[in-house]
């Protein structure tokens, strides 16, 4: 009943569709860092490697790595460690215990234009100040030119 209008050649091999980048580079990397759990044996080294001036709190833990690893958030709070540093220490403690990442400093983020919520307001105020300064500069230049007698009417 139906006729095939187009004949399909049989000697053509089908195209194999495969993802070229199906293995991420992160999986191919091996941890060759010397800043791993096996190489850190004291709290001084640990705090130095994670940075952010956490070395100040070494005396709170009596320079003992095992005491640091046993200390919880509430105990750190009672020791007087501020919230941001305490959260940073706890995060690195978890990563260190589970050997998730080589020890390195995570830099604190910097807000651009006062942060995401305030960006429009901050940019608008900055532009308004720049316009005001430009007007004042033009006024002072005009006054200087008039005082020197260079201004023509």
Tens of pLDDT, residues 104-120: 888 888 888 888 899 99
- Rounded to whole angstroms, the Cα distance separating 94 from 12 reads 56
- pLDDT over 90 at 125, yes or no: yes
pLDDT of residue 22: 57
DSSP letter (8 states) at residue 3: -
Encoded tokens for 125: 């105020």
pLDDT of residue 34: 61
Cβ within 8 Å of residue 121, ≥6 positions away: 114
Confidence band (pLDDT; 50, 70, 90) for 131? Answer: very high
Alpha carbon 68 to its chain's center: 25
- pLDDT over 80 at 17, yes or no: no
- pLDDT over 90 at 150, yes or no: no
């Amino acid at each position: 009943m139906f006729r095939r209008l187009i004949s399909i050649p049989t000697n053509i091999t089908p195209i194999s569709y495969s993802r070229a980048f199906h293995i991420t580079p992160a999986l191919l990397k091996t941890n060759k860092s010397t800043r791993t759990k096996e190489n850190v044996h004291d709290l001084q080294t640990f705090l130095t490697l994670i940075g952010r001036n956490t070395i100040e709190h070494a005396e709170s833990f009596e320079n003992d790595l095992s005491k640091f690893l046993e200390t919880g958030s509430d105990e750190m709070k009672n020791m007087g460690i501020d919230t941001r540093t305490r959260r940073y220490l706890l995060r690195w403690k978890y990563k260190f215990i589970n050997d998730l990442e080589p020890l390195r400093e995570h830099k604190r983020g910097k807000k651009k234009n006062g942060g995401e919520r305030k960006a429009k307001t901050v940019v608008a105020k900055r532009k308004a100040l720049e316009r005001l300064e430009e007007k004042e500069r033009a006024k002072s230049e005009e006054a200087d030119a008039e005082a020197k007698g260079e201004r023509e009417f």
